[in-house]
Structure formats: structure tokens, C-alpha cells
Amino acid sequence: METPKIAQKPTTITFIGAGNMARSLIVGLMQDQANVALRVADPDPLQLDAIRKHWPGVLTTTDNHEAMQGADVVVLAVKPQIMREVAEQLVETAQRSRPLFVSIAAGIREQALNNWLGGNLPIVRCMPNTPALVQTGATGLYANAQVSTVQRSLAESILRAVGITLWFEDEGKLDAVTAVSGSGPAYFFLMMEAMQAAAEQLGLRAEDAHLLIMQTALGAARLALESDDLPAELRRKVTSKGGTTEAALNVLTEGGLHGLFAKALQAADSRSRELAAANS
């Protein structure tokens, strides 16, 4: 006789904050059909309406304590500037139920967060990005010493449900991860906007330009991921001597594209460190 399968208890994950990044993770997790029960807390009822509209099964509340009761994992998804205030209000519940905390906030160090939450708690800091919404996210993770092996796997499985994950043993590296992949989607979107405007100036219809740019971005990313060649070699393969690509690339390099990217990523990295210093 076949042994009846015992349904595994779902992992309860509570989101504190239901903004852009939390929604990207929630949508990705729901699409992944992982065995999870989700709860979301946010003081803004409009943010909660947006969640309930798409996912009526998700428990929503304006009360952070209520959402945290019995949770296995609490994802802190509020802005860095209000993290201290939010965390300090959670001390009692945090110390009583001792869930795994996962903070997605840019800059806020594990030590500061642990102090605000009353201390000695398992905390994973991570830096995801919004392509999690379409399960193509990239997340850097760091775990403190209180995180058990099981909790480390749990945190990883949540973020892996929405894309790739990379662990870092040095927490300081998360500032660079923030500059590269946390903020990174915005750099590509800005490039798409700039190409769109330029394509329309060349006389293409907006919808035609949009389709060509999106497919080119997708194709370039897939080719770079799947090819044995590095991007520099792939670029050379597009660039005929004396041809059109060379003409365009000369404008971009002479205009200082490399230097601009170096400065832009340094600015993001510095801002992440500033947020840490202001909240230590």
C-alpha cells in the first residue's frame, strides 16, 4: 500500500513594508509556487490593496506585530532611513519569537540592525533587485554568526525563487553589490530611455523603436550569458572595420562612457556606506 504523503507545513514569511522591492519578491515567490504562507504589513492601505488584488491568499495588515506572530522569516523591506524606528518597535516580538530576519535595506549593517532589534538574533542581509518580479533577479547575501545552516538555506531558497544568489562572507562587499546589481537595472533602463529618444529622432515609430530596443537588450544579455566569449569579444564581433557600430562606439568611448560608469558605481557604493555610517 502506498504511504500517504504528509503535507509539509508551509514556511511563513512576513514582509514588513509592501513597496516596490517587497512586491517584486512577493510576485516572484507566488509565481514560483513555493510552499510558503505570506503575510504583509504596511501602514499604507493602498500598498496592501495592491497585494490583495493580485494575491487574495496573502494575509495583509497595517500591524507589524500581528504580521510577525509565529513567522519563520521576517523580511524587513522598509527604507533605510526608517529602519531604526521600525526595528526598535519590534524588539519585544523579535526577542520572544526569534525568527530569521532578512533585511533588504541598502547600507544598514547587520550589527546596527541587531542592536535595534534587541541583539543576538539571526540576520541575513541581502541586496536583491527588481527583476525578481520576473524571476530574473540577482541577489547578494550575507549571514551573521547566529544564522543556522537551515536558516541560511531558507534565506537562499527565498531569494533563489526569484533569480540567482551569491553569498559574501565579507559584509562590506554588499555596498559594491548594491552599486552593481541592486541599482543596476536602473542603468540599463536609462540606456533604453536614451536609445528610445534617439531612435525616434531617427524617424522610427515609438512602438517599433521600443520593440527593437527591448529585443536587442534581451538578445545581448542572453548572448553574453550563454556564449563562451566575454562581452568585449562579442562587441568586436558586431563591429566591422569602418562600419556603423564603430562609428557609434567611437562617440560613446570618446564621450567618456567608461569613466562615467566608474564614477556612477563609485557614487552608489559611497552612498551605501554613507547610509551605513548615518545608521550605525
Ligand X SMILES: NC(=O)C1=CN([C@@H]2O[C@H](COP(=O)(O)OP(=O)(O)OC[C@H]3O[C@@H](n4cnc5c(N)ncnc54)[C@H](O)[C@@H]3O)[C@@H](O)[C@H]2O)C=CC1
Ligand Y SMILES: O=C(O)[C@@H]1CCC=N1
Residues that bind ligand Y (CB under 6 A): 106, 178, 182-183
User: Which listed option, ligand X, ligand Y, none, makes contact with residue 132 (CB within 5 to 8 Å by class)?
Assistant: none
Q: Does 41 bind ligand X (CB under 6 A)?
A: yes
**Residues comprising the chain, all counted:** 280
User: Which listed option, ligand Y, ligand X, none, makes contact with residue 43 (CB within 5 to 8 Å by class)?
Assistant: ligand X
CB nearer to ligand X: pick between 43 and 172: 43
CB nearer to ligand X: pick between 77 and 209: 77
Q: Does 159 bind ligand X (CB under 6 A)?
A: no
CB nearer to ligand X: pick between 29 and 41: 41
Q: Is 80 annotated as a binding residue?
A: yes
- What are the distances in angstroms from CA 38 to CA 25, 33, 81, 109, 152? 11, 12, 25, 26, 19
CA–CA gap between residue 158 and residue 39 (Å, rounded): 14
**Where do we find the cell 556564449?**
227
Among residues 13, 14, 21, 156, the one that binds ligand X under rule CB under 6 A: 21
Q: Quick check: helix, strand or coil at residue 25?
A: helix
The edge-to-edge listing of strands for the beta sheet with 163-167 is 59-61, 36-41, 11-16, 73-76, 100-103, 123-127, 137-143, 163-167
Q: Does 68 bind ligand X (CB under 6 A)?
A: no
Minimum CB distance to ligand X, residue 207 (Å):
27
CA–CA gap between residue 165 and residue 173 (Å, rounded): 14
Q: Does 67 bind ligand X (CB under 6 A)?
A: no
CB nearer to ligand X: pick between 78 and 209: 78
Q: Does 13 bind ligand X (CB under 6 A)?
A: no
**Where do we find the cell 525568527?**
99
Binding residues for NADP(+): 16-21, 77-80
